[in-house]
Amino acid sequence: MRIAVVQESRPGETRVALVPDLVAKLTGLGYEVGVEPGAGAQAGFADEEYAEAGAALVDGLLPGADVVVSVNPLAPDRLRQLRSGAATVSFLPVAASHDLVGDLRDLGVTSFAMELVPRISRAQSMDALSSQALVSGYRGAVVAAGLLRRFFPLNMTAAGTVQPAQVVVLGAGVAGLQAIATCKRLGAVVQAYDVRAAAAEEIRSVGAKAIDLQLETLEGTGGYAREMTEDRATQQKQALAPYIAAADALITTAAVPGRRAPLLVTREMVEAMPPGSVVVDLAAETGGNVEGSVPGKVVRIGHAQVWGGDNVPSQMPGPASRLYATNVVNLLTLMTHEGAFAPDLDDEVVAGACVTHQGRILHEPTREAIE
């Protein structure tokens, strides 16, 4: 059976869904692996490396492919080249991709969305949301340190003492915890806040102080946060304002599954930050945690430079691709039986990730929204 690794078509995308080191895992499972020439170039992986690892470098892979792996979903014109019964494995933001999901159904393509892999212990090695959030969190911290016109760590020198930077992190999921840990390693003093009660212990475990706003916590289902009411949001903003006004760097990572990112920080709150301060909004693409942040741009609000994240994992394409590819290969391994691609839809991980199969939409919320 043939696996095709395609060149990504989303503007600005630099990642690739398979790295040369992992080709042997797939050939070992019994697949032939085809890679579109240049697919790994922007992530730093040359065609020759794929070829040496046992992949075939050929154009026009789609019509003969049994499984297509990519980071982003295939563009509609490329999707139409697939045969009925072929499968795709990629990120597939179903809530924002109704037309595409309809096409996948109508073309008889079996599609799997990496963001729908259930976040249970058994599927941790396939959890691409976590692996890419790890990259974003690290990158966000390093960007904040790079933009800040002062030291992150304490320095005690003969010329005097330089105080460490004060950092506030909002949202302490996978990206937030990685941002905290990275800022700590760089020597900053870090405080963090999350609406989930369990997050306080996790914040402390990576060396930061957990901010306690004395507000109701907001646990949703599956270990995620619940959306705030307007009243709760106002209280949270008021309570957070003094912490943000005292911060040299603010990093925001808050998200609620399936919703626009919550607005946590108003323009006025940023305007109260000190001269030379920095804001990194890792949620800018999904609506923004910070009023006025723009994805992919640095804007000035008051004294602060406000950096809006835009496909942040693509800024570290080598490691992001390697982590993503590991997640994909682990999911493919689960769906391979006796050398053939044979997804077992009775397996909760496989069923959870499956969006369309044999002309039907299996992901219930999407089916209800579309049909």
Is residue 170 part of the contact set for ligand NAD (CB under 6 A)?
Answer: yes
Assess 139 for contact with ligand NAD (CB under 6 A).
no
Packing angle between helix 128-147 and helix 317-334, nearest 10 degrees? 170
User: Considering only 91-99, 224-232, 318-326, 333-341, which stretch makes contact with ligand NAD by CB under 6 A?
Assistant: 224-232
Tell me the DSSP string of 301-367. Answer: ETTEEEEEPSSGGGGSHHHHHHHHHHHHHHHHHHTEETTEE---TTSHHHHHHEEEETTEE-SHHHH
Rounded CA gap, 159 and 300, in Å? 32
229 scored as a contact of ligand NAD (CB under 6 A) = no
Q: Catalytic residue numbers?
A: 119, 124, 127, 130, 224
Cβ–Cβ < 8 Å for 236, 214 = no
Query: Which residue stretch of 5-13, 107-115, 194-202, 334-342 sits at the interface with ligand NAD (rule: CB under 6 A)?
Result: 194-202
For ligand NAD, the nearest residue by Cβ is 173
Using rule CB under 6 A, residue 199 touches ligand NAD: yes
Q: Out of 224, 302, 310, 352, point to the residue binding ligand NAD (CB under 6 A).
A: 224
Q: Is 255 in the site for ligand NAD (CB under 6 A)?
A: yes
- How far separated are the first and last CA of the chain, in Å rounded? 33
Report whether 326 contacts 131 (CB < 8 A): yes
Quick one: tokens of 32? 């032939």
Q: Please, which of residues 67-126 interact with ligand NAD by CB under 6 A? A: 119, 124
Query: Nearest 10 degrees: CA dihedral of 56, 62, 65, 67?
Result: 100
Token pair for 317:
């394409």
What's the min distance (Å) between Cβ of 157 and ligand NAD?
A: 37
Choice from 8, 36, 194, 248 touching ligand NAD (CB under 6 A): 194
109 or 170: CB nearest ligand NAD: 170
Q: Does 3 bind ligand NAD (CB under 6 A)?
A: no
The SS3 call for residue 167 is strand
Q: CB-based contacts of 342: which residues, under 8 Å, 6+ apart?
A: 335, 336
Among 71, 133, 208, 270, binds ligand NAD (CB under 6 A): 133
Query: Judged by CB under 6 A, which of 37, 63, 146, 257 binds ligand NAD?
Result: 257
Q: Does 61 bind ligand NAD (CB under 6 A)?
A: no
Q: Which is nearer to ligand NAD, 81 or 217 (CB)?
A: 217
Q: Is residue 174 part of the contact set for ligand NAD (CB under 6 A)?
A: yes
The two beta strands, 32-35 and 166-170, are: unpaired
Binding site for ligand NAD (CB under 6 A): 119, 124, 127, 129-130, 133, 170-176, 193-196, 199, 223-225, 228, 253-257, 262, 264
